């Protein structure tokens, strides 16, 4: 049953297990036995439980909170309200987007399921009973759910707290590119295609929800926080700043954040949620550990949402079928607080990579953020900092343009792709793409699926009235945030640390600032060390997640682990190798420059019998090192990436539509990805399979919708539909390999590529099936009722 994995040829043996080897995962040993250590598994002696009272209204004044019945419930120890937090200056907290957010409302609730009060009890069950017994008297207020209406000056001001000059719901305006040149280029284009696209709210819904066990030790004055966090160091610093701002005696060196095993993150476990702050505050106040694990309904209704972009985009095309310009205007619905994780100068993330894989000169992109009565968030669900939104828009527009001018969409792409010799390529909005070969990836996908045969079949089926569609998406991703000159999150530069220490017996310990939530870092980072030093991967222990011991890092999201933390690991390994060279020279009584490194050992040039292995050198680092040299064999590197990396790919999807019911069946889906040099091809494939499923889901099944009163219409797994194994297509994958010229390993990162590329491939396929009926665009999700309504309107159903 051996699967053949594609990668660049390994240069190390399987025993060493460096890059390119499909090394089996180290972490699985515990997961397959049910011996993982997730937040819900953490139980501390004497711990209390926290549960949360949530608002049924999307916008309401709190007239009163009566906790008398709750306090009589056996086991309930306290009920915390916003008014109580206010006395500790904790009712509001800063967000990582530079806004402020309520921990608990003092007088006004801003979205349905917002936290209104916290109940502390001696057991989970008692806390739930306490929550059910709290009585809140609400006065409903006018609800604002339409972001366009929210922008209108006549709408209620949702955030009067923002002060003078900001008494409206407009959060920020952001622009990129050249408006005048773009307008001129569009005006002189032979063809202009314009489309309005809405990318609805979706929810990461990792199978594990969010949770925390906060443990204040009043004797030692330390706050240990066990939590589900994709960025533990950033959380530690934020907690220190918040505590400082509130005048609490919890300085950063006395805060320890420990993440254990995380059951999926996908960006949903980056923000600081009120539940976390409440647990920490409660622990501080009671002197006992406090545990909060949110229910699935709370998770779906109050945190971790993604997307919600209303995009107006226009593409210009010349008479020769060449793209001339792109103009984009977007309204970003951020809910009641701007709490998204985005680099501070980039409130729309990396959205302006929207010029995509195509060679043209002029573009202008503008985004406006707006408040509504919905939960906060926006950057999650493997969006790669809004690249999912960007790629969906450009790939849809490209298909519309190709069809408008009567050119095959594959041919149109080939004609307009940035050519391999143009790299590094500076895009119209200023991104320098490091490397790419878009033609090769698309050609490979077309060969794998036999594209010409499919077009022929489609023509035959169309003549018989059958609806078959073929959709392509050729995406360019941008990952690895990010270079320190422009990128930070609340000021913290996005440079990650790696600390490598080699022991006397040649085994090693690697500590990193990234935070796996299933990506297999214990396995893959050891492969990086094996690649650079020849120490077998099995001899390298990888640690992360404890802020007391792991070097500072901004965590794992936006596919940044391999590009930043992986690079730091490689550079730290090379620093170790340089010290090893000096020790080897000492052992071999040769000049350091006379030594040659082949994986795992230094050999004197011209004397193949005179060599020292890395293991010999490690032992000597503690027992026989040159005079004047420090003992030991270790190094630290904080990597400042010189640029992002740009993975890319071409996906082709084939659909058949049931004319009677509107159901769309994905017959085939071919995904060709290029993430540069591959560390572990088995894990890369796994990331792609999972990413494709999380692209399929928003394309076909998932959306969070609100009615006009702000009620969430998909607040449980009964209606927020994750794909099961039955609907999920059988993915076919392939690779091309175009290394990154600036990354130490030539690797690019891949975690979100498939979530970026899959939805437009599917949307393009469905529209392609219906184009001949006059359909140009359909917003995702492509549900049967939506498709049926179109067919019905066209007289087909």
Partner 1 sequence: MIPAAFDYVRPADLGEALRILKEREGEAKVLSGGYSLLPLLKLRLAQPALLVDIQALGGLDGISRTDDDIRIGGRATHRRILDDEGLAEVLPILRDAAAGIGDPQIRNWGTIGGSVAHADPASDWPAVLQALHATIVLRSAGGERVVPARGFFVDPFQTGIEPTEILTEIRIPLPAPRSGGSYQKLERRAGDFSTVGAAVQMTLGEDGRVTQLGIGLTAVADAPFAATHAEDALRGAHPGDELFREAAGAASRQSRPADDSHGPAEYKRAMVTEMTFRALRAAFGRALA
Partner 2 sequence: MTTQHISVTVNGTVHEADVEPRLLLVHLLRDTFGLTGTHVGCDTSNCGACTVHVNGMSSKSCTMLAVQADGAEIRTIEGMANGAALHPLQQGFWDQHGLQCGFCTPGMIMQSAWLLAQNDNPTEDEIREGISGNLCRCTGYVNIVKAIQQAAAELRAAAETQAGAAASTAG
Residues with catalytic roles: 230, 382-383, 752
- For partner 1, what does the binding mask look like between residues 293 and 312, x meaning CB under 8 A? --xxx---------------
Count of Cβ atoms closer than 10 Å to residue 562 Cβ: 35
Q: What is the DSSP letter of 479?
A: B
* Paired sense of beta strands 76-81 and 115-121, if any: antiparallel
Phi, psi at 492, each rounded to 5°: -75, 120
CB nearer to partner 2: give 348 or 692.
692
The site for partner 1, by CB under 8 A, has a size of 28
Which one, of 457, 200, 532, 223, lies nearest residue 333 by Cα?
Answer: 200
Q: Which of 161, 792, 793, 794: binder of partner 1 (CB under 8 A)?
A: 792
592 binds, among partner 1, partner 2, none (CB under 5 to 8 A by kind): none
CB nearer to partner 1: give 345 or 730.
730
| Measured CA distances, 732 to 26, 426, 651, 689, 729 (Å) | 26, 32, 10, 9, 9
Least distance between partner 2 and beta carbon 657 (Å):
21
Count of Cβ atoms closer than 10 Å to residue 379 Cβ: 26
Least distance between partner 2 and beta carbon 296 (Å):
4
Distance in angstroms (rounded) separating the CA atoms of residues 185 and 682: 45
Q: Which of 724, 730, 774, 795: binder of partner 1 (CB under 8 A)?
A: 724
Length of the chain: 797
In this chain, which stretch among 383-391, 647-655, 770-778, 788-796 interacts with partner 1, using CB under 8 A?
788-796
Query: Exposure string (b/e) for 642-681, b if CB count within 10 Å is 16 or more?
Result: ebbbbbbbbbbbbbbbeeeebebebbbbbbbbbbbbbbbb
Q: Which alpha helices (H) appear in 634-718, and where do they start and end?
A: 681-700
132 binds, among partner 1, partner 2, none (CB under 5 to 8 A by kind): partner 1
In this chain, which stretch among 82-90, 489-497, 561-569, 779-787 interacts with partner 1, using CB under 8 A?
779-787
27 binds, among partner 2, partner 1, none (CB under 5 to 8 A by kind): partner 2
Report if residue 129 touches partner 1, rule: CB under 8 A. Answer: yes
Instruction: Supply angle C-alpha 172, 197, 111, rounded to 5.
Output: 50
Distance in angstroms (rounded) separating the CA atoms of residues 291 and 216: 12
Least distance between partner 2 and beta carbon 468 (Å):
22
Least distance between partner 1 and beta carbon 688 (Å):
22
Judged by phi (left if over 0) then psi (alpha if -120 to 50, else beta), residue 440 lies in: alpha
Report if residue 135 touches partner 1, rule: CB under 8 A. Answer: no
Report if residue 719 touches partner 1, rule: CB under 8 A. Answer: yes
Distance in angstroms (rounded) separating the CA atoms of residues 611 and 587: 9
Through-space distance between the first and last CA atoms of the chain, rounded to whole angstroms: 45
Residue pair 48/291 in contact (Cβ under 8 Å)? The answer is yes
Residue pair 601/579 in contact (Cβ under 8 Å)? The answer is no
Which one, of 157, 182, 177, 161, lies nearest residue 169 by Cα?
Answer: 157
**Joined tokens for residue 239:** 């907690």
Rounded to a whole number of angstroms, the CA Rg of the chain reads 27
Q: Which of 187, 629, 713, 773: binder of partner 1 (CB under 8 A)?
A: 713
Q: Which of 44, 77, 106, 128: binder of partner 1 (CB under 8 A)?
A: 128
Report if residue 660 touches partner 1, rule: CB under 8 A. Answer: yes
Least distance between partner 2 and beta carbon 264 (Å):
5
Longest dimension (CA), the chain: 89
CB nearer to partner 2: give 47 or 429.
47
Phi, psi at 102, each rounded to 5°: -70, 135
CB nearer to partner 1: give 42 or 52.
52
Can you tell me whether residue 663 is helix, strand or coil?
coil
Which one, of 178, 180, 140, lies nearest residue 156 by Cα?
Answer: 140
Place of tokens 């572990």: 680
CB nearer to partner 1: give 675 or 704.
704
- For partner 1, what does the binding mask look like between residues 670 and 709, x meaning CB under 8 A? -------------------------------x--------
| Measured CA distances, 229 to 214, 546, 548 (Å) | 13, 11, 15
Distance in angstroms (rounded) separating the CA atoms of residues 130 and 527: 50
Distance in angstroms (rounded) separating the CA atoms of residues 477 and 645: 8
Residue pair 347/383 in contact (Cβ under 8 Å)? The answer is no
CB nearer to partner 1: give 538 or 789.
789
Asked if the peptide bond before residue 424 counts as cis, ω within 30 degrees of 0, the response is: yes
**Joined tokens for residue 151:** 């922008």
Positive or negative, the CA dihedral 210, 349, 426, 414 is: positive
Least distance between partner 2 and beta carbon 708 (Å):
25
137 binds, among partner 2, partner 1, none (CB under 5 to 8 A by kind): none
83 binds, among partner 2, partner 1, none (CB under 5 to 8 A by kind): none
CB nearer to partner 1: give 195 or 727.
727
Distance in angstroms (rounded) separating the CA atoms of residues 797 and 723: 26
Least distance between partner 1 and beta carbon 58 (Å):
18
Interface with partner 2 (CB under 8 A): 1, 3, 24-25, 27-36, 38, 40-41, 43, 74, 124-125, 204-209, 261-264, 266, 295-297, 517-520, 682-683, 685-694, 716-718, 722, 724-726, 728, 730-731
- Chain-centroid distance of CA 299 in Å reads 17
Least distance between partner 2 and beta carbon 654 (Å):
18
129 binds, among partner 1, partner 2, none (CB under 5 to 8 A by kind): partner 1
Report if residue 124 touches partner 1, rule: CB under 8 A. Answer: yes
**Joined tokens for residue 541:** 């222990």
694 binds, among partner 1, partner 2, none (CB under 5 to 8 A by kind): partner 2
Residue pair 362/428 in contact (Cβ under 8 Å)? The answer is yes
797 binds, among partner 2, partner 1, none (CB under 5 to 8 A by kind): partner 1
Q: Which of 34, 153, 606, 785: binder of partner 1 (CB under 8 A)?
A: 785
**Joined tokens for residue 363:** 């573009």
152 binds, among partner 2, partner 1, none (CB under 5 to 8 A by kind): none
Report if residue 726 touches partner 1, rule: CB under 8 A. Answer: yes
785 binds, among partner 2, partner 1, none (CB under 5 to 8 A by kind): partner 1
CB nearer to partner 2: give 23 or 439.
23
Report if residue 784 touches partner 1, rule: CB under 8 A. Answer: yes
CB nearer to partner 2: give 207 or 627.
207
In this chain, which stretch among 58-66, 535-543, 578-586, 659-667 interacts with partner 1, using CB under 8 A?
659-667
36 binds, among partner 1, partner 2, none (CB under 5 to 8 A by kind): partner 2
In this chain, which stretch among 91-99, 123-131, 311-319, 664-672 interacts with partner 1, using CB under 8 A?
123-131
Distance in angstroms (rounded) separating the CA atoms of residues 276 and 104: 12
CB nearer to partner 1: give 528 or 782.
782
Place of tokens 């040659």: 596
CB nearer to partner 1: give 126 or 234.
126
CB nearer to partner 1: give 187 or 713.
713
Report if residue 794 touches partner 1, rule: CB under 8 A. Answer: no
Asked if the peptide bond before residue 781 counts as cis, ω within 30 degrees of 0, the response is: yes
| Interaction site with partner 1 (CB under 8 A) | 124-125, 128-129, 132, 295-297, 660-662, 701, 713-714, 718-719, 721, 723-724, 726-727, 783-785, 788-789, 792, 797
């Amino acid at each position: 049953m051996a699967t053949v994995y594609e990668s660049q040829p390994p240069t190390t043996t399987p025993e060493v297990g460096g890059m390119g080897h499909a090394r089996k995962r180290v972490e699985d040993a515990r997961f397959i036995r049910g011996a993982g250590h997730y937040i819900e598994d953490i139980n501390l002696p004497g711990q209390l439980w926290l549960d949360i009272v949530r608002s049924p209204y999307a916008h309401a004044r709190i007239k009163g909170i009566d906790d008398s019945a709750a306090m009589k419930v056996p086991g309930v120890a306290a009920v915390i309200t916003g008014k109580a937090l206010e006395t500790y200056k904790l009712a509001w907290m800063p967000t990582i987007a530079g806004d402020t957010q309520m921990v608990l409302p003092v007088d006004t609730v801003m979205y349905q399921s917002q936290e209104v009060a916290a109940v502390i009890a001696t057991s989970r069950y008692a806390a739930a009973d306490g929550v059910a017994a709290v009585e809140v008297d609400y006065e409903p207020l006018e609800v604002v759910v339409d972001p366009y209406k929210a922008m209108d000056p006549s709408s209620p001001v949702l955030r009067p707290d923002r002060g003078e000059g900001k008494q409206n719901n407009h959060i920020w305006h952001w622009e990129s590119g050249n408006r005048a040149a773009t307008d001129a280029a569009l005006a002189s284009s032979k063809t202009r295609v314009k489309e309005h696209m809405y990318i609805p709210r979706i929810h990461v819904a990792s199978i594990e929800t969010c949770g925390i066990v906060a443990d204040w030790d009043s004797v030692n004055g330390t706050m240990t926080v066990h939590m589900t966090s994709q960025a533990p160091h950033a959380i530690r610093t934020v907690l220190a700043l918040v505590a400082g701002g509130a005048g609490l005696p919890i300085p950063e060196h006395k805060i320890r954040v420990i993440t254990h095993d995380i059951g999926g993150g996908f960006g949903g476990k980056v923000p600081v949620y009120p539940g976390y702050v409440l647990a920490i505050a409660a622990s501080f106040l009671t002197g006992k550990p406090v545990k909060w694990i949110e229910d699935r309904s709370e998770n779906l209704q109050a945190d971790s949402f993604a997307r919600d972009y209303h995009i107006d985009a226009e593409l210009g095309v010349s008479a020769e079928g060449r793209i001339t310009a792109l103009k984009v205007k977007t309204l970003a619905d951020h809910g009641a607080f701007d709490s998204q994780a985005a680099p501070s100068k980039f409130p729309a993330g990396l959205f302006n990579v929207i010029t995509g894989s195509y060679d043209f000169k002029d573009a202008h992109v503008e985004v406006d953020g707006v408040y509504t009565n919905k939960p906060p968030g926006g950057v999650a669900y493997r969006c790669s900092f809004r690249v999912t939104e960007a790629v969906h828009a450009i790939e849809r527009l490209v298909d519309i343009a190709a069809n408008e001018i009567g050119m095959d969409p594959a041919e149109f792409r080939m004609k307009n792709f940035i050519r391999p010799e143009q790299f590094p390529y500076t895009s119209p909005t200023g991104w320098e793409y490091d490397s790419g070969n878009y033609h090769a990836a698309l050609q490979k996908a077309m060969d794998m699926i036999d594209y010409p045969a499919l077009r022929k079949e489609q023509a035959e089926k169309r003549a018989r009235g059958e609806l078959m569609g073929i959709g392509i998406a050729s995406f360019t991703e941008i990952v690895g945030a990010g270079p320190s000159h422009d990128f930070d999150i609340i000021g913290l530069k996005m440079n990650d640390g790696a600390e490598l220490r080699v022991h006397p017996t040649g085994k090693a310990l690697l500590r990193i600032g990234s935070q796996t939530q299933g990506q297999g870092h214990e396995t893959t980072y050891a492969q990086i060390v094996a690649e650079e030093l020849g120490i077998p991967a099995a001899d390298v222990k990888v640690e992360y997640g404890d802020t007391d011991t792991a070097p500072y890092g901004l965590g794992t999201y936006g596919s940044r682990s391999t590009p930043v933390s992986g690079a730091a690991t490689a550079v730290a390994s090379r620093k170790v190798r340089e010290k090893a060279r000096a020790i080897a020279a000492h052992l071999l009584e040769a000049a350091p420059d006379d030594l040659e490194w082949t994986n795992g050992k230094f050999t004197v040039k011209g004397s193949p019998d005179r060599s020292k292995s890395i293991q010999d050198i490690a032992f000597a680092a503690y027992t026989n090192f040159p005079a004047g040299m420090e003992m030991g064999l270790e190094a630290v590197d904080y990597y400042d990436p010189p640029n992002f990396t740009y993975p890319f790919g071409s996906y082709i999807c084939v659909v058949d539509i049931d004319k009677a019911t509107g159901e769309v069946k994905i017959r085939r889906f071919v995904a060709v990805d290029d993430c540069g040099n591959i560390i572990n091809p088995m894990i890369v494939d796994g990331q792609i399979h999972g990413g494709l499923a999380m692209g399929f889901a928003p394309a076909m099944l998932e959306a969070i919708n609100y009615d006009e009163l702000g009620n969430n219409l998909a607040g449980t797994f009964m209606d927020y539909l994750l794909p099961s194994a039955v609907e999920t297509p059988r993915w076919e994958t392939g690779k091309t390999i175009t290394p990154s010229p600036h990354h130490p390993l030539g690797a690019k990162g891949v975690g979100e590529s498939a979530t970026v590329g899959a939805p437009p491939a599917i949307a393009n396929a469905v529209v392609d099936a219906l184009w001949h009926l006059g359909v140009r665009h359909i917003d995702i999700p492509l549900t049967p009722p939506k498709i049926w309504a179109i067919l019905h309107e066209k007289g087909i159903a």
